[in-house]
Amino acid sequence: MNDVTVRLMKAADIDAVTAVENASFLTPWSRAAFEAEISDNDLAHYLVIEFSNQVVAYAGFWMILDEAHVTNVAVLPQHRQQGLGKVLLATLLEHAKELGANAMTLEVRLSNTIARKMYEQAGFVERGRRRQYYTDTQEDALIMWKDNI
């Protein structure tokens, strides 16, 4: 995967990011939500991964005081299990640290064992649970934190 590039998301990426989102989640964010994140939300920071000049993954967080709150991490299904999520997460952590974050937090579906394993390998630990957090399935979310980033 020599032709993989991680970079900041820009407005021109929104259609491709929306396609990744739609392929990844039961209740995807709308195009308008991504437009608002990029143009109106000063707390928002998003990255994309390009592979062969195509956006195949994205992730983002909100920087709130000294904490980075992950909003989304998604990889196109045909590009999963290739380490792109790990690359995105490592780059998110690096970017958050550069912005002054001391910690990063996220919610993950209880059933998403692949993502949970990736977060645990990156040093995230479970610190709580949000009951019926996901409205599409009423599934619980695990709250995970990584301190001292």
Residue 8 pairs with which residues in a beta bridge?
47
Give the class (CATH, top level) of 4-147: alpha beta
pLDDT bucket at 71, cuts 50 / 70 / 90: very high
For residue range 89-148, what is the model confidence (pLDDT) as tens digits? 999 999 999 999 999 999 999 999 999 999 999 999 999 999 999 988 999 999 999 999
Q: Is the pLDDT of residue 2 over 90?
A: no
Whose tokens are 């929104």? That residue is 14
List the domain boundaries for the chain: 4-147
Catalytic residues: 107, 119
- pLDDT (0 to 100) of residue 1: 61
Query: Does the structure show a pLDDT above 90 at 6?
Result: yes
Say which residue the tokens 């209880």 belong to.
110
